[in-house]
């Protein structure tokens, strides 16, 4: 059931024990939104914790409290008044959903592809980031922002907008970020931390990008990372930023081997609806940024995704 921001704020304010979670393969917005709200709730004297069923990439070490994010332990049960699922629909939270006994479940998201399965859902696809929603949510609770919370929320807003460059950046996005900077967030520190890679990671990406392929008269640029190369390419963060700049490209993507017969696809576009393509394969996202998982042989998966993109380009 969709609810308003004020209703969501009331649910959050009414809960005493809160568990926050988000999607697997965590990004700045998922970590920032859960951790930031955790800080706020603790500052209100509540019992709040973050459970995410994945490793947290080390770039998020810059976020205060990140070491307190826990992965649900095998067979463990967790109880709470409220489970808040941030930046994703319920089904993409790994083992968390089954491990938590919560009186109520609230989903807070900005993905237009949200399946709306949650008992209570505050969805605002006009917001660039779930962290931008969190900013409004806390304002709706008449709350202020500690530096810890502000740092987390700023990070999610910055990363989901490509540091305020993507088309989802609005005056409201900038105002929220400006308020958070006023509290003391240092944009340069967040930017440097988010872009940090090891020498090996950079070199592995360079090798992957050297094999980039162009399709559809240069309208599509793609990097295919097979099982062999996937061993080296331990981070895909930033690869698509290198492809997006190629003049004439409409859609850029990578397909990366994940496990036998399973590949991760991540797409970016300049207006082509890549979320529709992703949804066709059980994935989702936003019009200009989406992802999905493909199965089968590498060559089949490559053909399948290229055909789907071609179809969308010609719509
Ligand atoms: P990325 O390409 O950075 O992994 O994801 C781009 C956007 O699409 C993000 O907002 C992300 O949450 C969403 N997304 C990526 N993969 C999936 C998926 O498999 N399912 C859904 N529902 N959304 C996805
Ligand atoms: Mn997000």
Candidates 194, 161, 236, 197; CA nearest to 63 is: 194
Minimum-distance ligand 1 atom for the alpha carbon of 30: 12
Which protein residue has the closest C-alpha to ligand 1 atom 3?
266
| Model pLDDT, residue 309 | 98
Task: Label residues 97-131 b or e (16+ Cβ within 10 Å = b).
Answer: bebbebeebbbbbbbbbbeeebebbbbeeebbbbb
Pocket perturbation via mutation, ligand 1, pick of 90, 131, 225, 290 by most ligand atoms within 8 A of CB: 290
CA of 293 to the centre of ligand 2 (A): 18
Q: Which residues line ligand 1 (CB under 6 A)?
A: 92, 111, 113, 266, 283-286, 289-293
Ligand (nearest to CA of 133):
2
- Name, in order, each residue with C-beta under 8 angstroms of 300's C-beta and a sequence gap of 6 or more: none
Q: Which of 297, 222, 291 is nearest to 262 (CA)?
A: 297
pLDDT score at 158 = 98
* pLDDT of amino acid 15: 98
Q: How far apart are the CA of 45 and the centre of ligand 1, in A?
A: 34
pLDDT of res. 294: 98
Task: Give the pLDDT score at 261.
Answer: 98
User: How many whole angstroms from 98 Cα to the centroid of ligand 2?
Assistant: 23
Ligand 2 centre distance from Cα of residue 111 (Å):
7
Query: Residues of the chain whose pLDDT is less than 70?
Result: none
Q: What is the pLDDT of residue 190?
A: 98
Q: How far is 68 from 106, CA to CA, in rounded Å?
A: 22
- Return d(Cα 96, Cα 88) in angstroms, integer: 13
Atom of ligand 1 nearest to the CA of 266: 2
For the CA of 291, the nearest ligand: 1
211-265 pLDDT, tens digit each: 999 999 999 999 999 999 999 999 999 999 999 999 999 999 999 999 999 999 9
Host H or E run for residue 32: helix 28-43
What is the rounded CA–CA span in Å between residue 88 and residue 92? 7
Read off the pLDDT of residues 303-315 as tens digits, 9 standing for 90 and up.
999 999 999 999 8
pLDDT at site 79: 98
Return the pLDDT at 233: 94
Which residue among 285, 287, 292 is best mutated to probe the pocket of ligand 1, counting the most ligand atoms within 8 A of its Cβ? 285
Residue minimizing CA distance to atom 23 of ligand 1: 284
Q: Ligand 1: distance of its center to the CA of 43 in Å?
A: 31
The DSSP bridge pattern shows strands 289-295 and 284-286 to be antiparallel
The answer to whether 250 and 219 are in contact (CB under 8 A) is yes
Strands 213-215 and 220-225: antiparallel
pLDDT value of position 104: 98
Distance CA 51, CA 197 (A): 25
Find all residues with CB under 8 Å of 170, minimum gap 6, and list them. Answer: 126, 128
Tell me the three state secondary structure of residue 111: coil
- Planar angle of CA 174, 50, 38, nearest 5 degrees: 50
* Contact yes or no for 116/137 (Cβ under 8 A): no
Q: Greatest CA span in the chain, whole angstroms?
A: 58
> Do residues 267 and 278 touch, judged by C-beta distance below 8 A?
yes
Cα(129)–Cα(32) distance, rounded to whole angstroms? 10
- Residue 129 Cα to ligand 2 middle (Å): 5
- Give the ligand whose atoms come closest to the C-alpha of residue 31: 2
**Rounded distance from Cα 127 to ligand 2 centre (Å):** 9
Ligand nearest to the CA of 34: 2
Which residue lies with its CA nearest to atom 17 of ligand 1? 291
């Amino acid at each position: 059931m969709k609810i308003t921001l004020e209703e969501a704020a009331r649910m959050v304010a009414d809960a005493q024990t809160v568990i926050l979670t988000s999607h697997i393969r965590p990004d700045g917005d998922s970590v920032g939104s859960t951790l930031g709200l955790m800080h706020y709730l603790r500052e209100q004297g509540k019992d709040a914790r973050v459970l995410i069923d994945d490793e947290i990439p080390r770039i998020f070490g810059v976020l205060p409290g990140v070491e307190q994010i826990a992965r649900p332990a095998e067979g463990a049960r967790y109880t709470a008044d409220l489970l808040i699922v941030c930046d994703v629909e319920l089904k993409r939270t790994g083992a968390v959903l089954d491990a938590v006994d919560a009186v109520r479940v609230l989903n807070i998201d900005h993905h237009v592809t949200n399946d709306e399965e949650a008992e209570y859902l505050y969805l605002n696809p006009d917001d660039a980031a779930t962290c931008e929603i969190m900013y409004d949510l806390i304002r709706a609770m008449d709350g202020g922002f500690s530096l810890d919370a502000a740092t987390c929320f700023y990070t999610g807003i910055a990363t989901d907008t490509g540091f305020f460059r993507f088309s989802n950046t609005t005056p409201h996005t900038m105002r929220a970020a400006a308020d958070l900077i006023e509290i003391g967030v240092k944009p340069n520190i967040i930017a440097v931390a988010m872009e940090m890679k090891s020498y090996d990671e950079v070199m592995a990406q360079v090798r992957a990008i050297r094999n980039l392929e162009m399709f559809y008269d240069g309208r599509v640029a793609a990097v295919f990372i097979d099982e062999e190369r996937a061993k080296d390419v331990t981070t895909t963060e930033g690869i698509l930023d290198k492809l997006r700049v190629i003049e004439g490209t409409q859609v850029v993507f990578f397909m990366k081997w994940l496990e036998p017969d399973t590949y991760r696809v991540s797409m970016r576009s300049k207006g082509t609806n890549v979320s529709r393509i992703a949804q066709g394969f059980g994935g989702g996202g936003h019009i200009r940024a989406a992802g999905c998982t493909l199965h089968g042989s590498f060559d089949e998966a490559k053909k399948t995704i290229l055909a789907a993109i071609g179809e969308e380009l010609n719509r």
